[in-house]
Structure 1
């Protein structure tokens, strides 16, 4: 299988599904693929998905991530963003790599750690998925106990908050309950396509200063 993976070329926006993949094979595949790659990997009860995001997927991810970072900076909240870190739990036979993730309330618990283990470490407080390629797996994030999942699809931001073990779609973020981010984040993302990244970040920062 590993030899075939070395020969595998996945065009942007496409995915490959492998079935009956054992946990041990999943771990070997992660090692073989390495950390510095363009593909994203998901593992769910023996089914392995490998996908290559589209270029616009990366653009949207970067802008939204930057907006979240500015938000946390302006609110003076310590955080740690860990990008597409692989989160996996053998007892659940689940693993996933978000487009972006943030430790916010649990930042102190993982501060300074080079490697995370979900058997002892908390999951990220916020995971971000850009659904241009429709690869989000809410059930995996739900099982891993990620408190909040943001899904951006078709110019719309969906905010999902974990309540009693299940995601509930809400109008506001539990992390930032006083801010209308569901409307504001897509607006600034769209403006970035004409104004440019720096101008939008500056405008968003000014909006936060007047709103907060």
Structure 2
């Protein structure tokens, strides 16, 4: 097992090689047998760097450098969802990519976007993941043990919604948190070429619905 300082040195080299500004591809590195103390050291050293996402699952550490496409889709989905909640009068608290973690569960994750609905909470009601590269840590297992009520995945042009029911996630066709949101309408704008036009048209359709 590498020491914390050796691991961090390796990861710093990884970051230099896979600069978000210079790639259209996602890069993932996995390190096994990582202790909770090492994970927290990684967060302290690397967690605030833009373009780096860290996930921890029972000794497995995943570090991802997202692509431009990932960041564009992430940002647009957040803008669209927030526009919907503003237009329909739903109070929300944006938690962004705030790290969610539990030493007892030995799990931690940084969602692409996350929200508390109705009131602010320690654990967000909704976490959103943009999935362009398969493999890596099972993030749904991490979210389950952290108790996140609903998780959305944007994957291959489809919006997949999972609701936590009786301690397990079930895939559902409609959000339990936002039951009146037309998910097909939302999904039709996430990969739009022009975010400004997409947001303008989406807001207009919400107003007219």
TM-score (norm 1): 0.86
Question: Deviations for 1:149-194, whole angstroms, at most 9, x for unmatched residues?
Answer: 000111100011110111111111011212321x11121224x21x
Q: Which residue of 2 aligns with 1:102?
A: 115
Cα distance in 2, alignment partners of residues 165 and 203 from structure 1:
38
Give the total of aligned pairs. 194
Is 1:3 the counterpart of 2:5? The answer is: no
Residue 64 (structure 2) aligned to one of 48, 51, 61? 51
Q: CA 1:80/1:73 → structure 2, altered by over 3 Å: closer, same or farther?
A: same
Secondary structure in structure 1 of the residue aligned to 2:104? helix
Question: Which structure 1 residue ranges, 5 or more long, are not aligned?
Answer: 110-120
Q: CA deviation at 1:5?
A: 2.6
Secondary structure in structure 2 of the residue aligned to 1:188? coil
TM-score (norm 2): 0.87
Q: Which residue of 2 aligns with 1:199?
A: 197
Cα distance in 1, alignment partners of residues 71 and 99 from structure 2:
17
Contact 2:47/2:54 (<8 A) preserved: no
Q: CA 1:132/1:149 → structure 2, altered by over 3 Å: closer, same or farther?
A: same
Query: Please, what is the CA RMSD of the aligned residues?
Result: 1.5
Q: CA 1:189/1:2 → structure 2, altered by over 3 Å: closer, same or farther?
A: closer
Secondary structure in structure 2 of the residue aligned to 1:7? helix
Secondary structure in structure 2 of the residue aligned to 1:143? helix
Q: Which residue of 1 aligns with 2:22?
A: none
4+ residue segments displaced more than 6 Å: none
Q: Which residue of 2 aligns with 1:165?
A: 167
Residue 53 (structure 2) aligned to one of 40, 48, 71? 40
Q: CA deviation at 1:3?
A: 2.6
Q: Which residue of 1 aligns with 2:4?
A: none
Q: CA deviation at 1:102?
A: 0.8
Q: CA deviation at 1:206?
A: 1.2
Cα distance in 2, alignment partners of residues 4 and 32 from structure 1:
12
